[in-house]
Structure 1
């Protein structure tokens, strides 16, 4: 069973605080697509999480219907596309300026969609401004929610309401492993997928960006079912990105949300680019199993140098399996499904508490924790509280006194002993007296 992340779109006129609210929703995470010059500068996609519910947030351009802005037509098209993709919409208005005609236009656009919408009145950053929200009842979009995006006030209440009504994350009736194949345009994602499928199901051309949307295909290996998601090429920020391409990127990241394991395909004829590292970090932060596939080895690749380069640019790569392929020749592609299955099994492994505690004692005895301020740190107990990806809770005497370097040592040794390559293992430290 796999999950598709719901989309929460933020809509409103210019300068009402959409970007500030976007940053609140995504916890300040870097947008998957960053600010861009001109018309696209306000378009952002990011991932958010609230009380256990994950979602994708989309920030759209400022609406100004009928204005002299030459880009307004593109902005309105972009907003309509965002609304089509959304499971919930936040219409943001400025509480200090009252109802503006462009607010009414935004509400009308959203109302026609029939998608659940929430009216958020921004810049209510003190108690004496709370009465400003009542005017916005006239927009007819339900109860106005007072928020201060810049200070975070009221945002939690708004998120409680939204996430409480988001559709249950779509369950796909599939018994197997879901694999998202991601990477920059023209690195060979579709060629690799076609090799695994044994056909030309995905269009393959030397033109970057041939795949516009995520395409699902199915294959079986040794009795195990795999769902292969060939995503659109995920670009770094550019000065110009078409609306269709931008929302293809959004749909690609929705597909990554549905995956158990992500295969990041890199072009072996070039050394890792900044965007490659950002894609890897994003997939890792989303809790996905991760493999790095270096394609186009038939063009000549110095493998040891490549591995050193990846690890130098992306230190987490020391925990990520790296393999080399030539999709056009078929070389190395046969390793992919066995490696995906191995990472998937590690990601959903359920470890016994007795094994974990034996490991913890061994690791702590190997290198004793420091005694900051003369207080001895004691590690009492460890247990697994979640799988896919695994989350461990360690009970210690003073979690606030554990130095970062000792946390790194402990977590790295735990990962080594548990053989968690390709899996983002998380360790939480909690206080216990004895």
Structure 2
């Protein structure tokens, strides 16, 4: 099982709080210098708290974005949103209270200010939406909150952040930049497939929001944890739907975060609802994983529910048949580990942890040149190399080179003759021999003249 991490660094923690739709996520993205949080002109877009490692002029710190306080959207999730915000406030050395400079003082701003005074944390008032040319003159209203006149910024135009961060970072300790070497694990799949429940059960804490309402998770939520003594970062994502079923423009943005999470992860876990099985959505997500060349594990979630089908859906025989059907549906992800889990019963997580360890080991494997070429020789003897334009491909030898995945340089007579199908055949033989499971291989082909690498 994974566990919540113990802080190994003394990086300052900054939390961003405020009522809905004042621009907290835009400020979060502006300070992080990249688009992490969803930004949309609608109250209540952010629900979970988002955590990101950031730095300002070489000073590393942790930044937390939170959901809007005091907003009721009819989903019944507001209590969970406010609990997440309280956790962020408690962890922070500095809290940024964000207000809307165009709308002026709102009753919810006063309620948030009361909450912060009770918490006793150091607060900096941020008056957002002070865009160029705006002269509304409502800034003075916020002095009633009791946190001074405040700092005026425009998240949309990036104004005011230099002086703001200089003030916040004035009492931070000087610290060398620390490279983030944690394994990033993205948990992806359709909405309501049990992704957040899986992360919570694995970490052993209610770290991401869970509800029976599909689409509860909207952003890609980073969850740091320790996995058998190794630091990892789980990325819990919003579910991906079929395009024809997506009408809400916000949900279209949420779906795009799935692809982004896959691109930034080291390892992807595809969550498949055991009741629904593999459909077009799962195949689409698996295709994204394959194109991104990320190691993959398939987690079959809610396995406890299959017992409701009676004797036919119990026991090892049914599990074996279920896995065979899954592998047939996801044939383009060969040899991927498949693990049956139940977040409710906390079962299958030891196997899932072991599968992650195997994939991490496969990513860093060193393949000896001699043994590699013996495997390739047997492969080419069992299946003839491609022919194109009357020319037959000749594979002279291959060797491993540096890369984020096992990366092989193959020397041939004409790289253009190599086909995707034959490259896939060679990769499967290598993975099988070296026990690499579903870890992808990357090939670079170089011609005899050593000038035509591809």
Residue 423, structure 1, aligned to residue 429, structure 2: no
Counterparts of 1:218 and 1:326 in 2: how far apart (Å)? 21
Check if 1:253 corresponds to 2:259: yes
Specify which of 196, 201, 205 is matched with residue 207 of structure 2.
201
- The DSSP-based 3-state class of the residue aligned with 2:365 is coil
The CA deviation string for residues 285-328 of structure 1, in whole angstroms up to 9 with x for no partner, is 11211111111111115423332332322212332111111111
* Corresponding residue for residue 21 of structure 2: none
How far 1:185 sits from its partner (Å)? 0.8
- Alpha-carbon distance in structure 2 between the residues aligned to 1:5 and 1:353: 42
Structure 2 CA distance, aligned partners of 1:248 and 1:404? Answer: 32
- What's 1:359 paired with? 375
Deviates more, 1:197-206 or 1:354-363: 354-363
Distance in structure 2 (CA, Å) of the matches to 1:200 and 1:372: 57
Q: How does 1:106-145 map to 2 (within 5 A)?
A: 113=157
Q: Distance in 2 between matches of 1:312 and 1:281?
A: 15
SS at match of 1:238: helix
Partner of 1:382: 398
User: Is residue 2:197 matched to residue 1:191?
Assistant: yes
- Asked whether the equivalents of residues 262 and 288 of structure 2 are also in contact (C-alpha less than 8 Å), the reply is no
Q: Residue 374 and residue 289 in structure 1: after superposition, are their counterparts in 2 closer, same or farther (change >3 A)?
A: closer
Which one is further off, 218-227 or 365-374? 365-374
Secondary structure in 2 aligned to 1:208?
coil
Aligned position for 2:413: 397
Give the structure 2 partner of residue 210 of structure 1.
216
Aligned to 2:276: 270
Deviation at 1:395, TM superposition (A): 1.1
| Structure 2 CA distance for partners of 1:266 and 1:370, relative to 1, 3 Å | closer
Please state if 1:237 is matched with 2:238: no
1:291 has 2:297 as partner:
yes
- Report SS of the residue matched to 2:243: coil
Q: Which moved more, 1:381-390 or 1:208-217?
A: 381-390
Distance 1:430 1:340, change over 3 A: same
Q: Aligned residue for 1:341?
A: 357
Shift of 1:180: 0.8
Structure 1 CA distance for aligned equivalents of residues 405 and 194 of structure 2: 28
Alignment gaps of 5+ in structure 1: 8-110, 116-170
Show the counterpart of 2:140.
Answer: none
* Residue 397 to residue 271, structure 1, CA distance change in 2 (3 Å): same
Quick one: which of 220, 227, 232 aligns to 1:226? 232
Give the direction of change, closer, same or farther, for the CA distance of 1:232–1:371 in structure 2 (3 Å limit).
Answer: closer
Deviation, 1:234, is 1.7
CA distance in 2, matches of 1:264, 1:404: 24
TM-superposed CA distance for 1:5, in Å, is 12
Other structure's SS at 1:292 match: strand
Q: Over aligned residue pairs, what C-alpha RMSD do you find?
A: 3.2
Instruction: Tell me the CA shift for residue 378 of structure 1.
Output: 2.8
Deviation at 1:114, TM superposition (A): 5.6
8 Å CA contact 2:334, 2:438 repeated in 1: no
* Larger of the two Rg values belongs to structure: 2
Equivalent of residue 184 in structure 2, options 172, 178, 190: 178
Instruction: Identify the range of structure 1 (185-194 vs 375-384) with the bigger mean alpha-carbon deviation.
Output: 375-384
CA distance in 1, matches of 2:178, 2:322: 37
* Distance across 2 between alignment mates of 1:331 and 1:373: 55
Verify the 8 A CA contact 2:290 2:333 in the aligned structure 1: no
Local SS of the residue matching 2:332: helix
Question: Equivalent residue of 2:198, what SS?
Answer: helix
Whole-Å separation in 2 of the counterparts to 1:369 and 1:311? 27
Gap runs ≥5 in structure 2: 1-31, 36-154, 160-176, 307-312
TM-score of the pair, normalised by structure 1: 0.56
